[in-house]
Structure 1
């Protein structure tokens, strides 16, 4: 992607986000994806190549860091048990149930092994609340739903990558993983990433506290976001959970010890521009990349798989919240339904699809089906969040 192409895409993205500032319920991701699909037919944009490396190492660290840094420590504390459950045990159970369901229905349409079906479920399970969080906050008077959706998505990205990596090894025959070794690797990679992020997040927060130059403070946050991500990946633990933990730690320490108001204004201003720029480019690029799969003959199966993903997610959320009295009092079936619908698929799913495509020489029907499900999710769920939230949670 050239500099000129990047500038044009940024201009388009900024114009759409300007409309979103005036119309708070505008489904920006869907609009950007549609525009990206249209741009793919123009010769000027035909040379753009979207890779898993571009998404994972360029876009993801920044988006994860800004979301984690801005995430309310109080909101996380109030809903921490539910968030951690949904992002760990919840996502593992979802992959198992959804994978079995995909395997059961795919037979007449697609030759897919049980491991392949589980892999498809792992690709489609991570959530991406981009713009959904702000819509939820505007549609309801309670921040609880937005906090749970955002907190879950921050943590389940790391869980999804671990599950995907293990299943990918089994699918390609490069590893034969037992249940015990799976959970051992899961704990090592996850807890290692969290420990690394908390440690360096705390250290950088102290550096920020004692640095009175605003430019240096912003520079330290950039080093933290990208440095901790790449360090974690280099030593073999979760870079996603490392950068999320570091961002959350910086947020906690900021609220506890850092009093310079000018730092908050500078940091928010810088990362606000980064976030809007990254999201603009990312969803336009998703549209450009998805255009090649629009001729897929698997749209019917994709619709079925999408519906299955919604049903399974609702079963897991509603079932788990009913198991524990404390959660039962906090989350009604209506709120479970809203949490289900708000968990649309996005950035992480696209990264995992492209990773599969690179690993399995094109990906074939698997990639086409997964892309179709993600596009359906982005369109229907982003459009439906505002009216569904108002209907379900109306007084």
Structure 2
């Protein structure tokens, strides 16, 4: 997952960028390669929503499904860094050095991991202090909505922060901070939210 979410994103950026350059040249659009790379950095991060359904029907091993889903959850930080570096080169107003790239990666990806762990720990303590499934479901919803907004405000990766917080709550939180009744309601709620948001996503794509 780590290799796919780092080297995979960079390689995909160059593959998509190179392919775009060939296609644009073929149809008579002269676009500098650096702009094609910028396009590639937007396309490189994967979103497996549509693919996972196909994989399940095809009966692929669970480990492969986990790798594909895991990569899509962690590639956001790397993709943001790649995009900002290429944008800096195009703008010409940024000092694009190895140190600058590393700082961006630490801020986005590593910062997102630490922030996600911190808010996940706070949410865990709150979940542990109550025994009411309605309140606990609302706490997880507040964690996602408030945590993502706060991550965006402090310029760390929101998706990575939410993944880390979710892993923390979904493992330690489930074991030590939730009753069986809460687990059932929490699973049902987020499975429904997952289906609704996926449907809304494809509806928006269709409208666009």
Deviating above 4 A after TM superposition, structure 1's stretches of 4 or more consecutive aligned residues are none
For 2:199, the equivalent position in structure 1 comes to: 280
> What residue number does 1:154 align with?
73
Residues 130 and 189 of structure 1, relative CA distance in 2, 3 Å threshold = same
Gap change, CA 1:120 and 1:139, over 3 Å in 2: same
Q: CA deviation at 1:173?
A: 4.4
| TM-score, structure 2 normalization | 0.88
What stretches of structure 2 of length at least 5 have no aligned partner?
Answer: none
Find the partner of 2:184 among 265, 281, 292. Answer: 265
Match of 1:240 in 2: 159
- Superposed CA offset, 1:160-205 (max 9, x none): 2332233234334453423431232112221001100012112212
Query: How much has 1:254 moved relative to structure 2?
Result: 2.9
Q: Are residues 1:106 and 2:24 paired?
A: yes
CA distance in structure 1 between the aligned counterparts of 2:50 and 2:172, rounded to whole angstroms: 26
Report 1 or 2 for greater relative contact order, CA contacts < 8 Å, sequence distance ≥ 6.
Answer: 1
Q: Distance in 1 between matches of 2:50 and 2:188?
A: 18
Aligned equivalents of 1:196 and 1:219: distance in 2? Answer: 20
CA 1:107/1:183 → structure 2, altered by over 3 Å: closer, same or farther? farther
Q: Secondary structure at the match of 1:98?
A: helix
TM-score of the aligned structures, taking structure 1 as reference length: 0.49
Q: How does 1:340-355 map to 2 (within 5 A)?
A: none
Please give the residue correspondences for 1:327-338 in structure 2 after superposition, counting only pairs within 5 Å.
Answer: none
Structure 2: how far apart are the matches of 1:101 and 1:284?
Answer: 28
- Cα separation, partners in 2 of 1:265 and 1:115, compared to 1, 3 Å: same
User: In the aligned structure 1, how far is the partner of 2:21 from the partner of 2:53?
Assistant: 35
Alpha-carbon distance in 1 for matches of 2:60, 2:92: 50
Gaps of 5+ in 1: 1-82, 290-395
**Post-superposition offset of 1:146:** 0.8
SS of the residue 1:212 aligns to: coil
- Matched position secondary structure for 1:107: helix
